Amino acid sequence: MLPALMIPRYARPEMSKIWSDENRFQTWLKIELAATDALCRRGVVPKEARDVLFTKSRFDVARIDAIEKEVGHDVIAFVSAVAENVGPEGRFLHYGLTSSDVVDTALSMMTRDALDLLLSDLDALREAVKARAIEHKHTVMIGRTHGVHAEPMTFGLKLALWHDQLSRDRRRLATARAEIATGKLSGAVGTFSHLGPDVEAEVCRDLGLVPAPIASQVIPRDRHAQVMTTLGILAGSLETFATEIRALQKTEFREVEEPFGATQKGSSAMPHKRNPIGCEQVVGLARIVRANSMVSLENMALWHERDISHSSAERVTIPDSFLALDHMLRRFTGIVKGLRVDAARMKRNLDAGKGLVFSGQLLLELTEKGGLRREDAYRIVQSHAMNAFLNEGDFKAAVFADDEIVKTLGRDALEHVFELNRYLQHTDTLFARVFEA
């Protein structure tokens, strides 16, 4: 059964399975039976009853839903539905537990498993970005600040920056996974009034969790907030990269283009359209994940030892965020792998300013080697730059036609000002920092 919230368009079966009702109840049952096993070893649950529970415990989602309509409590409905299939030994099911012992521990397990899928997704994206970065390590393009030409760089460096950010995202995900892989079976207000800490420790070990050092009736929601805000940051990273591709795909730029299939259509009205719909989808879904992360922060403040104001929100926000981000990662990985890069267009756009992008180096040369005051040098260079910009002139030609600049620096030194390699000389060092760390 798929979650009813995130639409199937963005729901991958592997991630959907984790958040399905079937898996949620199966995880609850796993916790119940692990507790039964621990209690059997302590002589609380008879061995015969334990064996019956392990043999006959099963459930039907529809039956649980039907009972819940009567009792208005999902855990009671679940326990009742399982007990119907067990018989008299069902009285030992849920022994000493409170609902949140099961629900919160199960949520930790499901979140942990969902994070494992995202980590795998993220590793695939990082590999794709790395491969394209290496491919375009020396593909020269113009760097832009405020959307305006700044100085030369390479497309590979842009991708290396993405990879470094994704590596930080991965570390954050791994940290969040460790934080949420926490269980609790400490009872109604966390005092172990019915089961001892030794039972909790044993059950958590069997489930691959770490016992919460202390809890109220629920696992404190700062752990969940850490997971959800981490998802929000990762979504923000993908949004950043997707926005960059969208900008570089503008008709006036056309430096990169997300994959466009041979039979794909971009517009119902304009046959020429090749729109960055994949990147736009990533940007749109990032808004959902980010908004959901804010809900997790609001879920932290509960009344006293617990209330359930967090519960209704989490049923929506946590599965939807994981389903959306799982889709976003896989979609963007495909975009990166199939990204069309127009190196010739990049070089053409860089050259369109006719040397304007070298104004910063000319400023430095006039101050360092020419001995001019920075204010004077800036005024001279900016005068030529603004004239070239406003009149679409040739900045380099104008500089070489300025006798004072030529006299100050000499023609040979002036030629070095306009050398492209100056801006690319540390590319190998930057790549080593990112990919050999």
To the query of whether residue 193 is one of the catalytic residues in this protein, the response is: no
CB 139 within 8 A of CB 343: yes
Tokens, residue 103: 């629900």
Q: Strand 182-183 and strand 210-211: pairing?
A: parallel
388: its two tokens: 């070239």
CA angle (337, 431, 241) in 5-degree steps: 40
Closest listed residue to residue 156, CA positions, set 437, 432, 403: 432
Active site residue 194: no
> CB-based contacts of 339: which residues, under 8 Å, 6+ apart?
132, 245, 256, 257, 258, 259
The Cβ of residue 244 has, within 10 Å, a number of other Cβ atoms equal to 16
List the catalytic residue out of 120, 267, 309, 383. Answer: 267
Instruction: Return the closest-CA partner of residue 289 out of 109, 103, 120, 114.
Output: 114
Enumerate the active-site residues.
Answer: 146, 267
